[in-house]
Every structure is written in structure tokens, then in C-alpha cells.
Amino acid sequence: MLIAGNWKMFKGPSETRAFADAFDSPEGVDVVICPAYVSLAAAVEGGLTTYAQNVHWAPEGAFTGEISAPMLRELGVQGAIVGHSERRQLFGETDEGVARRAKAALEAGLGVIACVGESEEEREAGQTELIIRLQVESIRDAVGAHERLVIAYEPVWAIGTGKTATSDQAQEVHAFIKGLVDVPVLYGGSVKPENADELLSQTDVDGALVGGASLEVESFTAICRSAARIRS
């Protein structure tokens, strides 16, 4: 069971060090923290298993504002998120670009959490499986069922909205994803201590990509403890 905390654009180095000092990961669960770029070194130095929030497909070059996989490796970062819904929606990332980022990161020896998910309009139009298939197959066709690849299903309508997919909805989509590619699948979308047990106990839910609830040590620890209990 993997629990990943995506801090988005929160916590500079000093706050990251304070979190690392206070956080005690429960036994029996794999925990990853994904801080902002400026806080990666502090997270690594604090003993946290650290992933970046994105990674470019080129090892170097004229790509202002981007970070490469070799740069992350040199810092001691162990992986990266790719294709988060905010990157797709706000910064125009495409299925092709996400697949290229995933491929480059895996080839460089990093782990990858590749995000997929449908919007509220797409779900209401009955297009959930179509959208998920297009996104997952783009990644699968680029890298296959790689041993360091994890898919995160994050329904866009449940990101930062307080809405959460029901456990049955999550299970249904997770099973569909696993029918497309044989890798672990995390659920991401307003995961909180209050709903962690129900979501994580579903057969095809292999962990969680946690947003806002990962910023506070107490709430993130509670989610990790839920995962550890279910795994045991």
C-alpha cells in the first residue's frame, strides 16, 4: 500500500524540515512526499521518501522552468508525479506529453505516479471509461507495465472540491484501469482521515494520492495508519 502526499505549491524548505521532524511513518505502509521543487532537498535531507511534482522528458536543454530526471536523481529524489489534473487543466499538458515524461523518468531510474481522471462534464456525459482509456493507454503504450509505474486515478471533479468518489465508484474505475495495465492504482480526490478506511479497503485500491490532508502531520499520519491497518 502506497500513500503519497502531494503538497502542490505549499511549504517552503523550513516548513518541510519541520514536517519531516514531526512525521513518524507507520510500519507496513510505503509513504512518499511530493513537495515543491524548492523543498525537494529539505525533504530528502529530512529522511522522507521524496518525489517531485513533475519532470521533463529531456535530460537537459533549453526548457526554461523545467527540471530533468537526472537533476532529480542528483538531489536524491526517487520519483515524480506526471500528468496531474492541475498540470493538464492549467498548463495544457497533453496525453502525449505525460507519456513522454513518464518514459523519461522511468528510463532514468525514477519511480512514476501517472495521474488520470475525468472531469465532471465527462462523467455526466457517460465518457468516464473513454477518457480513462485514452489517458491510460497513452502511458501504457509508452512504458508498458513497468515495475516502477503507479497509476493514480483522480476524478477531476473531486480535486479540491470536497467531493469524493464513492467507494463503489472508485473500485469500478480502478478495476477498469487494471484491465488496461497491470500496475498498482492509487485513488486521489479529497482523501481525508474520515474516508480513508472505506476507500483504501476496496479490492483494487492500492493506496492514495493525498492533497490538502497531507499538509498537516496529524491528518496525513491518520491516513497512513488507515493504510497500515488495512494492509495488515
Q: Is the dihedral of CA 67, 94, 80, 109 positive or negative?
A: negative
Give the integer Cα–Cα distance in Å for 67 and 214: 23
Q: Identify the weakest region by mean pLDDT among 28-37, 122-131, 202-211.
A: 122-131
The per-residue pLDDT for range 101-118, each reduced to its tens digit, is: 999 999 999 999 999 999
Cβ count within 10 A of residue 109? 13
Which is the catalytic residue, given 56, 84, 146, 174? 84
Architecture of domain 2-231: Alpha-Beta Barrel (3.20)
The per-residue pLDDT for range 48-81, each reduced to its tens digit, is: 999 999 999 999 999 999 999 999 999 999 999 9
- Percent of the chain at pLDDT > 70 equals 99
CA distances from 147 to 8, 111, 112, 113, 128 (A): 26, 9, 10, 12, 26
The per-residue pLDDT for range 185-219, each reduced to its tens digit, is: 999 988 999 999 999 999 999 999 999 999 999 99
Which of 157, 131, 226, 129 is CA-nearest to residue 166?
Answer: 157
pTM reported for the whole predicted model: 0.96
Q: Hey, where are the domains in the chain? A: 2-231
- Told to judge if 84 belongs to the known catalytic residues of this protein, a careful annotator would answer yes
The per-residue pLDDT for range 141-186, each reduced to its tens digit, is: 999 999 999 999 999 887 766 677 889 999 999 999 999 999 999 9
Which is the catalytic residue, given 93, 146, 154, 174? 154
pLDDT on residue 125: 93
Give the integer Cα–Cα distance in Å for 223 and 214: 9
Q: Are 142 and 99 in contact (CB under 8 A)?
A: yes
